Structure 1
Amino acid sequence: MRRAAFRILALTVLLVACAPVAAADEPLGSADAVESAYTAPGPWAVSALEHFGCCDPTGAAYDVWYPTDLGARGVRHPILTWGDGTSAVPRQYDYLLRHLASWGFVVVATENQNTGSGDEILSAARYLIDQAADPASVFHDKLNTAAVGAIGHSQGATGAVNALIESDGLIETAVAVEIPAQMFCSTPRRCVDTHRVSSGSVFFVNGADDAFVSPSENLPGLTGLQSNHAYYDAVPPGVPKTWGTLNRANHNDIQGQPDCARASIPCTSGVQGYLGYPTAWLAARLWGADDARRAFEPGTGEFYRPNPEWRNQIGAR
């Protein structure tokens, strides 16, 4: 087991070193109506603030992205709490987080660079809930504190699912993007066991070019939760779950613009493919958007149709 893991890690380092540093392909397109709709920017203008508040359990500050016209027409905005990948910071995901805020979400992100335990991600959600109750806060009476989701990348994807598990129902859904195989966990607290998901819902998204850190299927010689398919299968029956693999996407594409500008390597095409269906999933779960909900009806929804940009689309409720 250890030898197999070492060989895979060595191959991963080699692939990262040889990965393209600029966009090798045209930006990903959207094949269907719901994906296309949610890939486009939403109707809200967006504001963002670094170091907005303090602090998570490690003393790290929080950054926020939010609709500029908070609470317009009496709207109360759902909360999203974000988890960074290892050694990353929230501003590296600015394009994605601005996109989510343009769809009416208020996004809070700990600046902590090791979020796998989920503690910091859950703490950030609770921080915004406290802000909603504080008359001195810009978020006072503007947030739907009963509609909270978690989303994260790489180690932060592990943390988003852990935050869902540990939230006692506070977090309704998690989107796990490029969740690493368990062999890459640095400590047991930065692993996740999806057998333990007992409420809410989960959407797993990985890139087809991220074949080692976040593979679709367990690699030869490895057992347990070593792939997105294994994580998906381990979520207990009765918990809504979905998994899909984005073609031509690598581990750090989610950090990019609609190309690989500003992304760390390895990046193949950029953030574009991660905008549509993840945003739709969150809109369905936290806004109650009917069009988005129908897109994820297991077996019949738009997400499960043949799509040149996706593979491995499966779902259950």
Structure 2
Amino acid sequence: MMKKVLKIVGIVILGMIILIVLVVGFLLMKNYIDSQKPWLAKDYYTQFQSDSELEKKYAGLGDYEVSVMAVKSEDKSIGNIRIWYPSEMENRYPLIVVVNGSNTAALNYEPYFERLASWGFVVVGSDDRQAGTGISTSLTLDYMLEQNQNSDSLFYEKIDVQNIGIAGYSQGGVGAVRAVTEFENSGLYKTIFTGSAAHSYLAQMWGGYDASKVSIPWFMTAAAGTSDDTSATDAATEWLGVAPLSSLIENYNAMPDNVFKLRARVEGAEHEEMQMKTDGYMTAWMLYQLQGDEEAGKALIGEDAEILSNSNWQDIEKNR
């Protein structure tokens, strides 16, 4: 009798193990499939609303037709390096390196890259889903610089190496700050934009960052919603959100005063909306910093800067 009971128990346990394996396998497969899906509609930027002329303009498409290529990296964490560029490739173009947020890859938001490149930039990203250390970003920049010197490359002498910018979101904001401060090629960046960069205590999981080391113009943004700012104050015992106002103030104050810096939050926005809702002024920032576009500069520069009277934005402080 005991043998029959043990046999039945064994069968039940085996069945449970098989079921668990099947469920785990299904969830892993589903997660992989979901990770390959786009999360931006091709024309996502048409959904953006603004009553401010320049913000609306620069959130849309530029005048350049755009092409794209993907290159398999030798670094497994990078996966593919993906490059969007003006199809004509008749001149040298400023380069913008984009750093992914947590568990996202460039393949998930290709329309973002295409839209940005349409303003006359070469825009590069990777499929690294954990880019907070800045390592993959540094390697991606090295790759693009090598292509600029490779006579067999489409990008041979087509990258304006004096005008290189970087943009990062969430964990990618941490990666962007580290990319411009912690590596041999950090000094090549001319400007940085961050959207909801994780606050300094949270950023410790990727090695942390030191905002006082940032010596190039920095436009730092965050969402005003609770996903970025819970109003809690003790990072060691409470969840502050990803990028509370206190972190923007801390980073802004840590930077040297002789460097152009701008901090602002998107009114009513939540963390996951930051990429779309900052597109307009992020693009204007890059156009001004990397192409010397004076019209774009009017959105952000001076006492009459458009952002100062734009109801989409709040908690603004800048030193130019």
What is the match of residue 164 of structure 1? 180
- The 3-state SS of whatever aligns with 1:159 is helix
Contact 1:86-1:154 at 8 Å conserved across structures: yes
- How far is the alpha carbon of 1:186 from its aligned partner? 5.4
| 169, 177, 196: which one aligns with 1:153 | 169
Q: 1:55 to 1:170 in 2, by over 3 A?
A: farther
Q: 1:108 to 1:165 in 2, by over 3 A?
A: same
- Percent identity over the alignment? 26
Larger Rg: 2
| 63, 72, 80: which one aligns with 1:43 | 63
What is the match of residue 122 of structure 2? 106
Q: 1:58 to 1:95 in 2, by over 3 A?
A: closer
Contact 2:174-2:209 at 8 Å conserved across structures: yes
Deviation per residue, 1:213-270 (Å, 9 max, x gap)? x33x973234999622222222221111111111232222256xxxxxxxxxxxxxxx
Deviation per residue, 1:37-90 (Å, 9 max, x gap)? 21220001112223x24245845331111111212xxx2110011111111111
Give the whole-Å Cα distance in 1 for the aligned partners of 2:260 and 2:231: 22
Q: TM-score, normalised by structure 2?
A: 0.76
What residue identity is the alignment partner of 1:313? I
Contact 1:164-1:172 at 8 Å conserved across structures: no
**Unmatched runs of 5 consecutive residues or more in structure 2:** 1-38, 41-45
List aligned pairs for 1:1-317, cutoff 5 A: 27-50=47-70, 52-56=71-75, 58=77, 60-71=79-90, 75-166=91-182, 167-185=185-203, 187=205, 189=207, 191-197=208-214, 199-209=215-225, 211-212=226-227, 214-215=228-229, 219-222=232-235, 227-254=247-274, 271=276, 273-304=277-308, 306-317=309-320
Q: 1:60 to 1:91 in 2, by over 3 A?
A: closer
Q: Relative contact order (alpha carbons < 8 A, sep ≥ 6): 1 or 2 greater? A: 1
Give the whole-Å Cα distance in 1 for the aligned partners of 2:59 and 2:252: 24
- How far is the alpha carbon of 1:294 from its aligned partner? 3.0
Task: Please state which structure has a larger fraction of its residues in helix.
Answer: 2
Give the whole-Å Cα distance in 1 for the aligned partners of 2:153 and 2:56: 35
Give the whole-Å Cα distance in 2 for the aligned partners of 1:78 and 1:114: 26
- How far is the alpha carbon of 1:27 from its aligned partner? 4.0
- The 3-state SS of whatever aligns with 1:145 is strand
Give the whole-Å Cα distance in 2 for the aligned partners of 1:180 and 1:221: 15
What residue identity is the alignment partner of 2:58? Y
**Unmatched runs of 5 consecutive residues or more in structure 1:** 1-20, 256-270
Give the whole-Å Cα distance in 2 for the aligned partners of 1:295 and 1:315: 13
Displaced runs of 4 or more, over 4 A: 56-59, 222-226
Contact 2:95-2:164 at 8 Å conserved across structures: yes
What residue identity is the alignment partner of 2:233? P
State how many pairs are aligned: 268
- How far is the alpha carbon of 1:97 from its aligned partner? 1.2
> Which moves more between the two structures, 154-163 or 119-128?
119-128
- How far is the alpha carbon of 1:111 from its aligned partner? 1.4
Q: 1:233 to 1:27 in 2, by over 3 A?
A: farther
